[in-house]
Chains A and B, each alone.
Chain A
Amino acid sequence: EIVLTQSPGTLSLSPGERATLSCRASQSVTSTFLAWYQQKPGQAPRLLIYGASSRATGIPDRFSGSGSGTDFTLTITRLEPEDFAVYYCQQYGSSPYTFGQGTKLEIK
Chain B
Amino acid sequence: EVQLVESGGGLVQPGGSLRLSCAASGFTFSNYAMTWARQAPGKGLEWVSSVTSSGSRTDYADSVKGRFTISRDNSKNTLYLQMKSLRGEDTAVYYCAKEDGSGSSYYDYWGQGILVTVSS
Mark A residues whose CB is within 8 Å of B. 33, 35, 37, 39, 43-47, 50-51, 56-57, 88, 90, 92, 95-102
Contact = CB atoms under 8 A, between A and B. Distances in A.
Contact of A98 (B47, B59, B100, B109): B47
15 contacts: A35-B107, A37-B45, A44-B95, A44-B111, A45-B95, A47-B107, A92-B104, A92-B106, A96-B62, A99-B44, A99-B46, A99-B47, A100-B44, A102-B44, A102-B45
Contacts, number: 55
Task: Report the interface size class on chain B.
Answer: 20 to 34
Contacts of A33: 104-106
Contacts of A101: 44
B65 to A, nearest CB: 10
Nearest to A45: B110
Contacts of B106: 33, 35, 47, 50, 90, 92
A50 B45 contact: no
Contacts of A39: 45
Contacts of B35: 97
Contacts of B61: 96
A76 B45 CA distance: 21
B33 to A, nearest CB: 11
Interface of B: 35, 44-47, 50, 59, 61-62, 95, 100, 104-113
A44 B112 contact: yes
Secondary structure of the A contact surface, majority rule: loop
Most chain B CB atoms below 10 A, which of A35, A43, A56, A97: A97
Given A33-B106, A37-B45, A47-B106, 18 more contacts: A44-B95, A44-B110, A44-B113, A47-B108, A47-B109, A50-B108, A57-B108, A90-B106, A92-B104, A92-B105, A92-B106, A95-B59, A96-B47, A97-B35, A97-B47, A97-B105, A99-B45, A102-B45
Contacts of A57: 108
A33 B105 CA distance: 9
B35 to A, nearest CB: 8
Listed from nearest, the 9 A-B pairs whose CB atoms lie closest are A44-B110, A92-B105, A35-B106, A99-B45, A97-B47, A50-B106, A102-B44, A101-B44, A92-B106
